[in-house]
Amino acid sequence: MLERRTFGDFHALVGGNGRQLLYLHGFPDCPATATPFLEALIARGFRVVAPWLRGYAPSPVEGPYDGATLVADLRRIMNDEPWPVVGHDWGAALTYALCQELPIERAVTLAVPPPKVFLRQLRTPRQMLHSWYMAFFQLPIADRVVGTRFIDMLWRRWSPGFRLDDRRRRELHTCMRASLPAPLEYYRAFARTARRGELRETLRKPSHTAILALHGADDGCIVPPHGSTILPNLGHFLHLEAPDEIAARVAAWL
C-alpha cells in the first residue's frame, strides 16, 4: 500500500516494510505512473521511497537544477544512508551521480547508460536523431510549446505501443501542468555544465557501486548500448510496460 509522505519540502510515495529502496523518476514523468512497479517491489520485500524530484510539483519547482543541488536533495531524503537506488531516465543520471557521493553497494538504472557511454553515443547519428528534443529545450520557445500534448507525443515515440491507463495519465498531466517549464531546466543546466567544462570533473569522480543497467530494445529515446542488458519488446518506460519482470530483475540484483 502506497501513501504520500513528506521529507521536508519534498513529497514522495512510500510503502512497504522491508529494506529501504529509493526510486527516482525521469522526464516527463512522476512517481504516480510507476505505481504497479513500486507495488511489485514492495511485494518482493522492499520499503520504497519514490520522491517527486525538484522541479516536479508538489515538490519544490524552484531551482537551481544543477547536479550538485539535485544530489543534495536526495541525500537529505535518505539522511545520507546508502540505500539501494533504482533510477529511470533523469533518475538514472542522478543514480550514477549519487553513487559517486555515497557508499551505495548496488543500484539499478533504467534506460540510460553510464554518463561516459551516453556522451559517446551523443556523437552518433542515430542518438543525435533521438536526442533532438534536448537541443529544442534550450530554446525559450520550448516553454510555450511543451505541454501535455507534447508530452503524450514523447511517450508514444519513446515507448511505441504502450499507453498509460487513464488514471495514471491524468496524474501525470496534473503534475506536468503544475511543474512546467521547470523540468526543461534540467537540460539547460546540463548544457551549461558541459559548456563550462564542469562535466569532465564530474566524470572523473570514482564510484564503487555495482550497477545493473537495463534497457528496452525498442527505446525511441536512448539507443540501447552494446554490452548492456537489453530486453526485447520493451521501450523507454520499460518498468511501466513490464513492472513484474523488471521488479524481479531489480530484486534479484539487489
Per-residue pLDDT of the chain (254 residues; tens, 9 = 90+): 899 999 999 999 999 999 999 999 999 999 999 999 999 999 999 999 999 999 999 999 999 999 999 999 999 999 999 999 999 999 999 999 999 999 999 999 999 999 889 989 999 999 999 999 999 999 999 999 999 999 999 999 999 999 999 999 999 999 999 999 999 999 999 999 877 666 666 667 788 999 999 999 999 999 999 878 999 999 999 999 999 999 999 999 99
Whether the ω angle into residue 206 lies within 30 degrees of 0, i.e. cis, is: no
Burial of 31 (0-12, 13-18, 19+ CB in 10 A): buried
**Helix, strand, or coil here: 62?**
coil
Task: For residue 143, give the DSSP letter.
Answer: H
Residues 56 and 179: beta-carbon distance below 8 Å = yes
Residues 167 and 29: beta-carbon distance below 8 Å = no
Task: Look at residue 193 in the predicted model and tell me its pLDDT.
Answer: 83
- Give buried/exposed letters for 105-139 (b at 16+ CB in 10 A, else e): eebbbbbbbbeeebeebeeeeebeebbebbeebee
Q: How many domains does the chain have?
A: 1
Identify any residues that bridge with 2 across adjacent strands, giving them in sequence order. none
Task: Look at residue 199 in the predicted model and tell me its pLDDT.
Answer: 62
Q: Where residue 133 sits, what CATH number does that domain have? A: 3.40.50.1820
Place of cell 570514482: 206
Whether the ω angle into residue 64 lies within 30 degrees of 0, i.e. cis, is: yes
Structural domain including 88 reads: 3-253
Task: Look at residue 247 in the predicted model and tell me its pLDDT.
Answer: 98
pTM: predicted TM-score of the whole model, two decimal places: 0.96
Residues in the chain, overall count: 254
Task: Look at residue 207 in the predicted model and tell me its pLDDT.
Answer: 85
